[in-house]
Structure 1
Amino acid sequence: MDRKMTESQRAYEAKRAAKNGVSLDKWLQSKEQEKKAATEAKLPPAPAKPPGFFSRLMDRAHKPIKSKI
């Protein structure tokens, strides 16, 4: 990992690695790879939300008034 870990964090990660039967170095490398894979994943863009109540109200307020003559 590129950031420094405290002794308690290192001990916690060592326990997790031991529980999974892996050395601490391999455990930290796998965590780093998972993090990188998650950030590089191509997710489809979220669908556009319809405008809310106040947004619609402001849009109407800025439109000119239609006169029926």
Structure 2
Amino acid sequence: MTTKPIPKPAAKPEYTVIAGRKLSKGQLAYEQERAKAAGKSLEAWITAKIKAEEAEAQKAKPKPVKKPGLISRLLDKAHKPI
């Protein structure tokens, strides 16, 4: 009888928390390059990125439902039983 070795669980990625965000090593390196290209510190870059995402989320909110027009209301009323 041969015994198979027990597989080791995959190593969990190490995260770094910056400005309330968890970043893996790869994400951290990418964001550092983006910050460097923008001429900002990493902290300032991520803070600006978060603000931009929040502003985008505000724009993406659905518009309020529009009240039906006169013709639609008259047609709905006409289809109701007496």
Higher helix share: 1
Which has the higher relative contact order, 1 or 2, with Cα contacts under 8 A spaced 6 or more apart? 1
Q: 2:29 aligns with which of 11, 14, 31?
A: 11
Aligned residues: 48
Percent identity of the aligned residues?
33
Which sections of structure 2, spanning at least 5 residues, go unmatched? Answer: 1-18, 64-82
Which sections of structure 1, spanning at least 5 residues, go unmatched? Answer: 46-69
Cα RMSD (Å): 2.6
Separation (CA, whole Å) in 2 of partners of 1:6 and 1:42? 28
Q: Structure 1 length normalisation: TM-score?
A: 0.57
Given the superposition, is the C-alpha separation of residues 25 and 44 from structure 1 closer, same or farther in structure 2, using an over 3 Å criterion?
same
Q: Structure 2 length normalisation: TM-score?
A: 0.48
